[in-house]
A and B are shown apart, each in its own frame.
Chain A
Amino acid sequence: MSDLINKTSQFFSSGIIDLFIGYKKGRLGEGKPAFFTKPDQLSELIFDENCIVNLAVYLRKPELKKYSKIGILANFGTLRALLQLAAENQITDGQYLILTVADGKVLEFANLKAIEEYVANNLPKPNPERLALLKEIESKSREERWDFWTRELSSCIRCYACRAACPLCYCEQCLVECNQPQWVGVPPTGLGNLEWHIVRAMHLAGRCISCGECEAACPMEIPLGLLTQKLNMTIISNFGQIPGTKREPDYALSTFKVDDKENFIR
């Protein structure tokens, strides 16, 4: 750990960064997001398997605007989020100092291309328990699935914690806040809840980097990740595009091709 702290401290002292986003130990032993502005705060900096929060979500917060040089300690989900954000024009190459820790060593990424290579080499296998759960839901009849999701989603209190935790939910004005027209019913009841979660999942289809933050953030323990995961699997198997692995846009749901075999738009 001293290596990480030493390095970060050097970045401060040499003026490369004026803010470092990392983790410190929380009350329950969890990695808690921490914002370091001075090297002497760094003694609290940690990085271990409990540091699961996706820190990329903070990068677009207005509070960070006063810092010009930001460093970030990225876990794997954060790295993928950074790539996806770059593909969507939200961050630029070289804008941040990006570090990670792998096999006890501190890695500094020279550019997004380096992250792309790192991600490509370390893509995890999908969690088998998750897959089994998905399979189980898929094997249900239409009616059973409808019942399953209306039951799960009926508990939603529309706190929008899922949206706040998601590094890719960065719209300045979310469509649920639009009332002319009113796309999604506001009261946290049946249809409105269903609308919100379907819209959310569709907006993340082909973009979700599967960090699991939405589900972790949900106070009602709704298995939200299943929706986006299922959509992603469909996209990967049909188009072969894995979100959060490319720094250039490669979005399955929005590519017009002159030689498209469907000619509805020509």
Chain B
Amino acid sequence: MTKIGYFPGCSLNGTAKEYDLSLQAIARIADIELVELDDWNCCGATAAHSLNSTLAVALPARNLAIAEKMGLDEILVPCAACFSRLAQARYEIKSDEKYRTKIPQLIEMEIKGTANPITVLDFLNKYALDKIKDKLYNKLNAKFACYYGCLLTRPEHLSTIERREDPLVMEKIIYLSGGMPIDWAFKVECCGAGLSVVRTDIVGKLCAKILDDAQSRGADAIIVACPMCHSNLDMRRNEINKNLSTDNEIPVVYITQIIGLALGIDPKKLGFDKHFVPTDKFLHKLQKQTVEV
């Protein structure tokens, strides 16, 4: 059984429970053990990054140090925002002498930067796809708009994705899982997650463009790999629809949920009932066979 470090981050314990559920379900089928970091802490998110640059490195660095101590080489970080913070912290520690000496004093732990954070897309490509491809159960008879947002594709020094302006890695995963990815124009545009609470008006405008494009090209669902993108596009739907002429009802689902469906896992166990935008119609469109996991 493959063992890999796991940093769920605060969202997957709260607003993005379905992401955690579906990811764990896939991992079980793919025979991968996700080893949660002991007593991990919040990465600091945009807040630390906006207010205190030292804190912005120190908070994620503590998690990296924990992983190192646990002997983990790779940490799966499903939240793109957390991934960005962890990867940036590792980058700073490895490239900046100042941080190399300062951080161990702050976190009171040794850190070399040996544990490498990876995104959920890296994880699926590298560990899961091969193992689940024989276990695919359902044909995903729907069109999917794969949405990357900013933090999976940028900045260049952290991203592992090729063709940053027009990435295809998520599309490839969806295609291999039996779905039909569509070409659309807003897959790497920013949804405005950092201002979700304080400037919901702006978020509404940005997300409206994204949803509108996906709808006009006939997508049945938007696929995301980031809880920030998800909460913006899903929970803020009322705010978004104020900017659109007609109500947009496209469900926003995690890539892990879609793969879960392809594997025949019961939608409830994948947390489909936890979305704000109803997913019934979408699920109905797909075949309904399920397996026990």
Question: Direct A–B touching in the complex (beta carbon < 8 Å)?
Answer: no
**Interface, chain B (partner A; CB < 8 A):** none
**Interface, chain A (partner B; CB < 8 A):** none
